[in-house]
Amino acid sequence: MTVKSNHVTIKGIKDGLVFLLDDKCDFSSLLEELKYKLEFSHQHILTGPIIHVDVKLGMRLVTDDQKELILDILKQKGNLLVRSFEMPEIVRADGPQALTTIAGIVRSGQVLHHEGNLLFIGDVNPGGTIRCTGDILILGALRGMAHAGLEGNENSIIAASYLSPTQLRIAETISRPPDEWENRETSMEFAFLREGKMQIDKIISMTRVRPDLNVFKGV
């Protein structure tokens, strides 16, 4: 087994190790490399007495199940003791910015319609659609279509952990992404309107575009 990517970086610190996990790669690729480095390439530094481990996910958001998958791999090394697991914290707001959370998979031919702001935990497959009167935040891959601001709200945004849609739509503005999107390195990004045109930016810039949107604490 040979893994040539560099999605997992292991650094030694004074009292343990830090695992830096790439926040841009596919989650399955991340798990594959983590397993490889624990079993093969870094086995020599991961043996012996108890080692305290800090796991840092950068800007990647993971579900509880995904977090457990990472922890299960680390637990296979009996001497690794995870003491911290860092990722952006989701903060539920009250009032007009409240988020409704739905988990699942939107498959080809399926349409998920929601009134208000939506936090969707899961993937939207090609041919699947999410339609929402408010903002759409996807904790997973968007490979289908997303339509935010259904009732004409041009301030709505569409964000995803992995943004590779077949179509984006905010209010009445439609954007069909170019073919090269399929081949580029995607990361946590969001779509918004600026002067009537669809724009794409990194998720870290979201609060600059929408200061009222307190969704990712500390971003």
Measured distance CA(123)–CA(105) in Å, rounded: 5
pLDDT for res 148: 95
CA distances from 119 to 69, 84, 188 (A): 22, 25, 14
Does residue 54 have a pLDDT over 70? yes
pLDDT for res 114: 87
Q: Where in the chain is the domain with CATH 2.160.20.70?
A: 90-217
Q: Where in the chain is the domain with CATH 3.30.160?
A: 8-86
Measured distance CA(167)–CA(82) in Å, rounded: 40
Query: What tens digit of pLDDT does each residue of 62-105 get?
Result: 777 888 999 999 888 878 888 888 876 554 444 445 678 888 88
Query: Looking at domain 90-217, which of 2.160.20.70, 3.40.190.10, 1.10.10.60, 3.40.50.2300 is its CATH number?
Result: 2.160.20.70
Collapsed DSSP state (helix, strand, coil) of residue 44:
helix
Query: What tens digit of pLDDT does each residue of 201-214 get?
Result: 888 788 788 776 65
Residue (of 62, 53, 56, 73) closest to 26 by Cα position: 62
Does residue 3 have a pLDDT over 60? no
Residue (of 158, 156, 167, 176) closest to 129 by Cα position: 167
pLDDT for res 21: 92
Does residue 19 have a pLDDT over 50? yes
* CATH top-level class of 8-86: alpha beta
How are beta strands 167-170 and 173-175 bridged, if at all?
Answer: antiparallel
Query: What tens digit of pLDDT does each residue of 105-159 get?
Result: 899 888 888 888 888 888 999 999 999 999 999 999 999 999 999 989 999 999 9
Does residue 218 have a pLDDT over 50? no
State the average pLDDT over residues 34-58: 80
